[in-house]
Amino acid sequence: MSSAATTAAARPARVTLLHRSKIPAGIVSALGLTQIIGYGTLYYSFSILAPGMAEDLGLSLAEVFGVFSVSLFIGGLSATYIGKQMDRIGAATIMTIGSALAAMTLALCAWSPSVAIFAIAIILLEVSSGMVQYQAAFAALVESDPRTASRSITYLTLIGGFASTIFWPISASLTGYLSWREIYLVFAALNLFLCMPLHFLIRSLGKKAGDPAIRTRETVIGAIPPPARRRAMFIVSFAFALLGFTLAAILAHMVPMLGSIGLGAAAVVIGSLFGPAQVLSRLINMVFGKNLSPPGLAILSAVLIVFGVLILLMTGNWLPGAVAFAICLGLGSGINSIAQGSLPLYLFGSGGYMERSPARWPPPA
């Protein structure tokens, strides 16, 4: 075949790949918005609204958080099945369904006339969270383009890191005008009328991303050989589950906890530093961390989180210490979110990404 013929034959493939390379930018932007809303409405708002829930339902605050803890556990158990379905029918499809389920369960929670229905609604809320939050979004990026997925995950977490910064103050402000039930109805509308259409659009973009043969050739091979993957998956899963449990427990109680140790109204402001710290760590990683491997990111995140907790234990209600705690926690959480998306891809490859993803607790945004 002549050189000209070879060039002509190769041109359509290049055009296809160039067209596909533009799609992740649109997907990252759309997913960034849905992650802010998803984490804000389904996760971060709970600690602000919990006192109103407890008073309305005749429960203690500890009982309300107990229901939330059980829901996180059941949501984590459902992640394996949800991951398999994402590998089977596509992450964006599951995210579209998840947004509808999130809206329905938020509405059910707002209507709940009894503690039993409230508990069921909160549990379903966390199941739907696993269908729309980071792990699902990471899978959508891997499906879109495995070659650039690690970088896209960093950009996505950079945007999603503002979820707590936006929704903690919004939730606190809304409690002055609306009941927790009315706030949940507003949040249901956001998931139904904004997140669900965006996830459906991402699903449509994914169908136009190229033919299956091209996507099959563009897989990422994992660093760990197949025979050793089962043991490695167990170790990584245990580490991420332990870290995820720690972060989930701290963040669910963070604002009330800071208030209870004597920081008063400053607790919301200090808690809001968590989001910018997450974004800062991801920005630093994006600019300077190109040579840091996903295992290195995972280790660094754990060190920062432990360091932040130790600072709070040693300083108590000293304001600078609480600020340092929130910043260290945010820095560690921000890097942890990137590691949860990039480490499975690095170790196990893009084939069956969601089924092999070790994260079982929803990572903080």
pLDDT of residue 211: 43
Record the tokens describing residue 4, joined without a space: 């000209």
The C-alpha atoms of residue 51 and residue 58 are separated, in whole angstroms, by: 11
The C-alpha atoms of residue 354 and residue 90 are separated, in whole angstroms, by: 10
What does the pLDDT look like over 260-319, one tens digit per residue? 888 887 888 888 888 889 889 888 888 777 778 888 888 999 999 999 999 999 998 899
Q: Is the pLDDT confidence value at 49 over 90?
A: yes
Percent of the chain with pLDDT over 70: 85
pLDDT of residue 107: 98
pLDDT of residue 219: 63
Q: Is the pLDDT confidence value at 24 over 60?
A: yes
Record the tokens describing residue 174, joined without a space: 């809304």
Position 18 confidence tier, pLDDT thresholds 50, 70, 90: very low
Q: Which residues have a Cβ under 8 Å from the Cβ of 262 and sit 6 or more positions away?
A: 316, 317
User: Of 64-73, 130-139, 232-241, where does mean pLDDT reach its minimum?
Assistant: 232-241
Position 50 confidence tier, pLDDT thresholds 50, 70, 90: very high
DSSP letter assigned to residue 148: G
Domain extents in the chain = 21-356
Domain 21-356 CATH assignment equals 1.20.1250.20: yes
Of residues 164 and 16, more confidence is placed in: 164
pLDDT of residue 355: 56
pLDDT of residue 53: 97
The C-alpha atoms of residue 287 and residue 301 are separated, in whole angstroms, by: 17
Position 353 confidence tier, pLDDT thresholds 50, 70, 90: low
The C-alpha atoms of residue 4 and residue 18 are separated, in whole angstroms, by: 21
Of residues 345 and 260, more confidence is placed in: 260
Q: Is the pLDDT confidence value at 150 over 90?
A: no
pLDDT of residue 147: 78
On whether the CB atoms of residues 38 and 102 are closer than 8 A, the answer is yes
By C-alpha distance, which of 180, 167, 150 is closest to 33? Answer: 167
pLDDT of residue 21: 44
The packing angle between helices 163-174 and 180-190, to 10°, is 140
Q: Work out the mean pLDDT of the chain and round it to a whole number.
A: 83
The C-alpha atoms of residue 21 and residue 23 are separated, in whole angstroms, by: 6
Average pLDDT over residues 20-24: 51
Give me the residue label for tokens 């932040």: 308
Q: Is the pLDDT confidence value at 121 over 90?
A: yes
pLDDT of residue 263: 85
The C-alpha atoms of residue 154 and residue 99 are separated, in whole angstroms, by: 23
Give the CA dihedral 138, 193, 268, 254, nearest 10 degrees. -50
User: Of 93-102, 134-143, 176-185, 219-228, where does mean pLDDT reach its minimum?
Assistant: 219-228
pLDDT of residue 52: 96
Average pLDDT over residues 25-32: 89
Q: Which residues of 194-221 are buried (b: 16+ CB within 10 A; e: fewer)?
A: ebbebbbebbebbeebbeeeebeeeebe
Of residues 94 and 342, more confidence is placed in: 94
DSSP letter assigned to residue 177: T
The winner for highest mean pLDDT among 29-43, 143-157, 216-230 is 29-43
Average pLDDT over residues 56-78: 89
